[in-house]
Amino acid sequence: MTTFDRVLIAGAGPVGLVAAANLVRHGIPVTVLEAGPDLSTESRASTFHPPTLDMLADLDVVKPLIEQGLIAPKLQYRNRRDGLIAQFDFGDIADQTRHPFRLQCEQSKLTRIIHDKLRGNPDFEIAFASPVRGVTENSDSVTVTVERGGRSEAHDYRWLIGADGARSDVRRALGIGFEGFTWPERYLVVSTPFDFYGAIPDLVSVSYMADPVRWHFLLQIPGLWRVMFRIAAEESDQLALSPDFAQALMAQVVPGIDRYEIVHTTLYRVHQRVAEAFRAGRAFLIGDAAHVNNPLGGMGMNGGIHDAINLTGRLIEVWRGNKPEAELERFDLQRRLVTKEHVERQSIQNKKNLESDDYEFRDWLRRTAADPALTRDYLLRVSMIGSLARAEQLG
């Protein structure tokens, strides 16, 4: 079967569906092939940064997302000895974004909103239980092998976007390396409906508790708080997932409270990897297929959505004949460089900050919060507005 006049997107995660939404909005026919039987409901990303919300507003999906999420205008750093060290307010960069706040909302809500919006549009088709397995490039198309109902089928598309997550089959089929490393420790996320506002004075909905050994990170989502802890390499998965262990970690959050209602716990490994190339001819990698990083600072999905908008904006121009195919090189150049320069660097720095308890870090935080120019610079970096500006500078 020839489906030459379509773009194929592998993966219906947040990044693949944002790419689909932007192409369909511009009248470009898209097929999405998703390995799973339905959209994933897994509890993963829950932070949307200001420029990502601006992009989602352009796709006309931000209003329902905000309605289902929680607006977080401030973030803070604390430690056990001093309590509140510094607090930042995204209102200080309100001239740079239409959404001067983080939105706390699970990524599964975004995928459902986009899917429901695109369903029924003649330029959009999606097939579940249809993993992409093979890719062959031709001079003016790309042949994709898909597994469906126990059979293998081959179809031709004009372009292929691999948004099929960290273990990307598209990346493997293209023979693109995924260089980097895996941190020795793992992270445990404990979700509880406990009212932390009643127990911790001055708390805001995004709060980092710095500590060299037992740091934690408190993040409120609608109806729940997520508390993230570091699990040392020598602590086994079995131990980390035992209810008593989670309760013992939670007992360190508020002095005097040692029993919590725990709704669920998730343990996961953390990687820092960037693909050797984001483009191979007619095929592209975006989102976790192209890069993975630790979740501190919430940059994985956000960076992936920035990839999706950057790439599809160029594909639209090339598809319409307004720009030559060479335009697509700029996607690889811009997004790979800012992923390395900003997303990798900032997420590693965020991890170091949380593990720090030295005077220098506290002093730096306090000075930054007290100085409007330093505050602005800090907020532009953590909101990822800085990384987008840097991409633009690359031409």
Ligand X SMILES: Cc1cc2nc3c(=O)[nH]c(=O)nc-3n(C[C@H](O)[C@H](O)[C@H](O)COP(=O)(O)OP(=O)(O)OC[C@H]3O[C@@H](n4cnc5c(N)ncnc54)[C@H](O)[C@@H]3O)c2cc1C
265 vs 356, which CB is nearer to ligand X? Answer: 265
Q: How many CB atoms lie within 10 A of CB 266?
A: 15
Which residue has tokens 């309605």? 67
At closest approach, how far in Å is the CB of 367 from ligand X?
Answer: 27
d(CA 94, CA 384) in angstroms, rounded, equals: 14
148 vs 320, which CB is nearer to ligand X? Answer: 148
At closest approach, how far in Å is the CB of 219 from ligand X?
Answer: 8
d(CA 370, CA 348) in angstroms, rounded, equals: 24
At closest approach, how far in Å is the CB of 229 from ligand X?
Answer: 12
Q: Which helix (H) or strand (E) holds 147?
A: strand 142-148
- Rounded to 5 degrees, φ, ψ at 342 are -110, -60
Interface residues with ligand X (CB under 6 A) are 10-16, 33-36, 40, 44-47, 107, 131-132, 163-165, 169, 189, 266, 268, 287-288, 295, 298-302, 304
For the stretch 235-239, contacts whose Cβ atoms lie closer than 8 Å and that sit 24 or more positions apart, written own/partner, are 237/186, 237/267
Q: Which helix (H) or strand (E) holds 284?
A: strand 283-285
294 vs 375, which CB is nearer to ligand X? Answer: 294
d(CA 17, CA 113) in angstroms, rounded, equals: 10
Q: Please tell me what DSSP assigns to residue 211.
A: -
At closest approach, how far in Å is the CB of 239 from ligand X?
Answer: 19
At closest approach, how far in Å is the CB of 302 from ligand X?
Answer: 4
At closest approach, how far in Å is the CB of 322 from ligand X?
Answer: 28
176 vs 299, which CB is nearer to ligand X? Answer: 299
**Would you say 287 and 301 are in contact if contact means Cβ atoms under 8 Å apart?**
yes
34 vs 211, which CB is nearer to ligand X? Answer: 34
155 vs 362, which CB is nearer to ligand X? Answer: 155
CA-wise closest residue to 7 among 25, 26, 23: 23
